[in-house]
Amino acid sequence: MIRYGLILLIICFCASLVLSVTYKFTHNRIEAQSTSEEKDALYKIYPEASDFGTEKLQEKTYYIVKKDNKALGYVIKAETQGYSSVITMLVGFNPKGEIKGIEILSQTETPGLGAKISEVLSGESKPWFLKQFEGKQAKDLDLKNIQAITGATISSRAVLDGVKKSVSDFLTQIK
């Protein structure tokens, strides 16, 4: 019996060692890739921007979007609980709370249903679901003026509520 315990201990130790070494060698690359994806998403939301200044508000980092040293708006990172995962997104908006654009950074919603929140239709350049938010006031967002994804109401509502709450909270705190 002790023999099996020792064998299991050795296997677990070897597996832990391999995982920790792999993490050590890949952690910096993963962080760099994540930062690069976030920067690309910023320019997708505000392609006309020349600079994204970072500021902190209550330990959360946000971006001030600038063009020729003139502030155009803000971009914040919002997280919300979807049907099967946390949906992380960048939300761009002007000082009045009008949505400029949304980019999903990560989500693992159900393929074919909730994952449609970031689905780009043929011939389009942006996800049809997220495109509906553009030009709308964050405080007025509701399922009455945003068409939910059929069969994925929870994911649709999660994005809607996440955008509405994070933008409203941010604008309240910044004033």
State how many domains the chain has.
1
User: For residues 34 and 30, what is the distance between their CA atoms, to the nearest angstrom?
Assistant: 6
pLDDT in tens, 28-62: 999 999 889 999 999 999 999 888 988 888 888 89
pLDDT at residue 170 above 80?
yes
In a domain, 143, yes or no: yes
Q: Which parts of the chain are beta strand (E)?
A: 51-57, 60-67, 70-81, 86-93, 99-106
In a domain, 38, yes or no: no
pLDDT at residue 148 above 90?
no
In a domain, 64, yes or no: no
CATH of residue 94's domain is: 3.90.1010
In a domain, 103, yes or no: yes
| Average pLDDT value over all residues in the chain | 90
In a domain, 70, yes or no: no
Domain range holding 142?
A: 76-174
pLDDT band of residue 164 (cuts 50, 70, 90) is very high
In a domain, 16, yes or no: no
pLDDT at residue 153 above 90?
no
pTM for the model stands at 0.83
pLDDT band of residue 87 (cuts 50, 70, 90) is very high
In a domain, 21, yes or no: no
